[in-house]
Amino acid sequence: MTYCSIRDFSRHVGEEVTIKGWVANRRSSGKVSFLLIRDGSGLCQAIAERETLGDAYQEVKKLPLETSVAATGKVVEESRSPGGYELHVSRVDVIHKPEEEFPIGKKEHGPDFLLNNRHLWLRSGRQTAIMRVRDSLVRHVREYFHKNDFTLIDSPIFTTTCGEDTSSLFSVDYFDLGKAFLSQTGQLYLEAAIFGLGKVYCFGPTFRAERSKTRRHLIEFWMVEAEAAFYDHDRNLALQEDFVSYIVQNTIAERAEELASLERDIEPLKKVVPPFYRISYDEALSILKERGSDIEWGMDLGGDDETVITSLYDKPVFIENYPKKVKAFYMKQHPEKPDYVKCADLLAPEGYGEIIGGSQREDDYDKLLQAIRDNNLDPERYGWYLDLRKYGSVPHSGFGLGIERTLSWICGLKHVRETIPFPRMIYRAYP
């Protein structure tokens, strides 16, 4: 008996094989049953005939959805079947037959129902397609940094310092040492690593206690962050252009079938190649005010603002040089405009908004110390971070890209909650 996966059917045409999987769908007539079997590698139609199976056919024609089976039969080419092949069954062994009807049926279900049953909804064709695209995206992220001589640094999840807004920190009791926080970013630790390794990146979960219910926000999400010594602001933007282009083009090439099943038009994504558009924060405000926005100088851009901006461009656009009062303390003060910092947000087109935040870092000890104080942070907690500016400080830059927002854009999804297996939002921590 030859065991194989559905994905490998092309190598076994005309042979009798056994596959193991789950009955994803079934329809039967008096003499023939058509089982749609999923094994994790793909889908195939298995044709079970009463004449072939004999007495066993009566059980096969009534198998509940999500019954796990081992199906044996001959692999036959059939262009009309999923994957281009089907299995002409000679035997079906039931591994486990559900005692209850599978809760997720063909009828429409609301978002809350599907999120409550996320552990089962992950079996659906839509969700498996998204997870496969995510797998490719993550792999190409890692490939890019490997090919470009970046070293992976695993930054801590528990930290005593804040990298972003102190109001969005999750705090935990840390034994006898007081409060620690779940990491908002690995960036500060990456900055320490560049002095030994030059170019580094980290990739892991990040936590933001933001009370936001928008379609772009999660409480727990995955972020890849890069940091490079001797990179100024312009070189940092060029790196981001190259990186985003690489991961988008390789992902859509590899997962064309899955994206088609999601009804994603990939033609706009094919335009994601350098150079990207660049406008200043002040130019962005002018554009928004011309279109009726009441945004004032010194305010950060919101999701609606980003949607307006991206509607004007057919590929990603950088918004550069924000006022320092709306950005993090570590960003480099603009040399000609001291009220601004040398930073940029990268906005994805088609209304998907910010996918990257990046900046040149403040490498001057005195300016960094003053920025820490201006943001009401405790300089003692940042002693180690200030040390980096005391021993061989150099210009350096970096950025962070959110995997879920990027995946939402690539897949053309309406809500970021579909992009992660078990989404965490302010109103959801189950399952």
Reported confidence tier of residue 108, pLDDT bands at 50, 70, 90: confident
Residue 214 within any structural domain of the chain:
yes
Mean pLDDT of the chain, nearest integer: 96
Reported confidence tier of residue 427, pLDDT bands at 50, 70, 90: very high
pLDDT of residue 162: 86
Euclidean distance between CA atoms 38 and 233, whole angstroms: 48
CA angle 33, 37, 39 (to 5 degrees): 160
Summarize pLDDT for 212-233 with one digit per residue, the tens.
Answer: 888 899 999 999 999 999 999 9
Q: Within a 10 A sphere around the Cβ of 296, how many other Cβ atoms?
A: 8
Summarize pLDDT for 288-299 with one digit per residue, the tens.
Answer: 999 999 999 999
Residue 113 within any structural domain of the chain:
no
CATH number, residue 37? 2.40.50.140
Residue 106 within any structural domain of the chain:
no
The verdict on 304 and 187 lying in the same domain is: yes
Domain assignment of residue 40, given as a range? 2-96
Summarize pLDDT for 17-49 with one digit per residue, the tens.
Answer: 999 999 999 999 889 999 999 999 999 999 999
The verdict on 77 and 169 lying in the same domain is: no
The verdict on 90 and 201 lying in the same domain is: no
Summarize pLDDT for 303-345 with one digit per residue, the tens.
Answer: 999 999 999 999 999 999 999 999 999 999 999 999 999 999 9
The verdict on 44 and 155 lying in the same domain is: no
Is it the case that residue 164 has pLDDT exceeding 90?
no
SS3 annotation, 40-103: CCCEEEEEEEHHHHHHHHHHHCCCCCCCEEEEEEEEEECCCCHHHEEEEEEEEEEEECCCCCCC
Residue 335 within any structural domain of the chain:
yes
Q: Is 140 helix (H, G, I), strand (E, B) or coil?
A: helix
Summarize pLDDT for 192-209 with one digit per residue, the tens.
Answer: 999 999 999 999 999 999
Is it the case that residue 1 has pLDDT exceeding 80?
no
The verdict on 17 and 136 lying in the same domain is: no
Is it the case that residue 284 has pLDDT exceeding 80?
yes
Give yes or no for a contact between 127 and 418, defined as CB atoms under 8 angstroms apart.
yes
pTM: 0.96
Going by their DSSP bridges, the two strands 220-229 and 199-207 should be labelled as antiparallel
Residue 80 within any structural domain of the chain:
yes
The verdict on 63 and 140 lying in the same domain is: no
**What residues form DSSP beta bridges with 192?**
none
**What residues form DSSP beta bridges with 345?**
319, 357
Overall number of domains in the chain? 2
